[in-house]
């Protein structure tokens, strides 16, 4: 009896870059390049809508994801993130709208934004160019900042509160 063929790793995992490889891989993506970031702890409809809208702003979408340590620094709540970085990145990589996923450990992804100079820097509706680290540099280099309105009633914090009762 022969052993069954091993199940190959999901193709979507190829969309995950290390921070060290990020610049080269971001540079190889089709332009215009849209870049966004977030925690994406428990992926929900608001996230999927947001990422789809961000992707529609360009030819490719890269998502920078907060490391577990940087999530704890944000004060998102006790025991957050619920899902570890590797799991959050794998789920994002499985979305058709997402072309590349990159982790970052700093308080903001400013250095990544400035180093890769996306054509579009997209953020959720509670951000402005003035409150987004790296937005001024992206705009000065000819890129643009886009604030995407929230999908009403969808947030991870609210979902976690509802689950915990």
Q: Rounded CA gap, 141 and 156, in Å? A: 33
What global pTM score does this model have? 0.89
Q: Where are the beta strands (DSSP E) in 111-162?
A: 120-124, 144-148
Cα 53 from Cα 125, distance rounded (Å): 12
Q: What is the pLDDT of residues 15-26, one digit of tens each?
A: 999 999 999 999
14: which residues sit within 8 A by CB, 6+ positions away?
A: 93
- What SS3 state is found at 20? helix
Task: Find the angle CA(8)-CA(41)-CA(55) to the nearest 5 degrees.
Answer: 75
DSSP secondary structure letter of residue 16: B
Q: What is the pLDDT of residues 112-130, one digit of tens each?
A: 999 999 999 999 988 999 9
Cα 79 to Cα 96: distance, rounded to the nearest angstrom: 29
Q: Is the pLDDT score of 145 beyond 70?
A: yes
Task: Give the pLDDT of residue 107.
Answer: 87
Separation between Cα atoms, residue 144 and residue 161, nearest integer Å: 35
- Name all domains of the chain by residue range, CATH numbers in brackets: 12-164 (3.40.50.620)
Read off the pLDDT of residues 24-69 as tens digits, 9 standing for 90 and up.
999 999 999 999 999 999 999 999 999 999 999 999 999 999 999 9
């Amino acid at each position: 009896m022969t052993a069954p063929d091993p199940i190959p790793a999901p193709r979507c995992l190829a969309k995950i870059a290390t921070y060290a490889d990020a610049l080269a891989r971001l540079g190889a993506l089709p332009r215009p390049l849209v870049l966004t970031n977030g925690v994406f702890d428990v992926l929900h409809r608001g996230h999927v809508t947001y990422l789809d809208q961000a992707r529609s702003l360009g030819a490719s979408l890269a998502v920078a994801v907060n490391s577990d340590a940087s999530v704890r620094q944000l004060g998102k709540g006790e025991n957050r993130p619920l899902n570890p970085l590797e799991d959050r990145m794998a789920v994002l990589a499985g979305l058709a709208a997402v072309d590349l996923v990159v982790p970052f450990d700093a308080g903001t992804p400013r250095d990544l934004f400035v180093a890769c100079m996306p054509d579009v820097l997209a953020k959720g509706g509670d951000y402005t160019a003035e409150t987004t680290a790296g937005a001024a540099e992206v705009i000065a280099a000819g890129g643009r900042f886009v604030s995407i309105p929230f999908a009403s009633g969808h947030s991870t914090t609210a979902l976690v509160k509802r689950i915990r009762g």
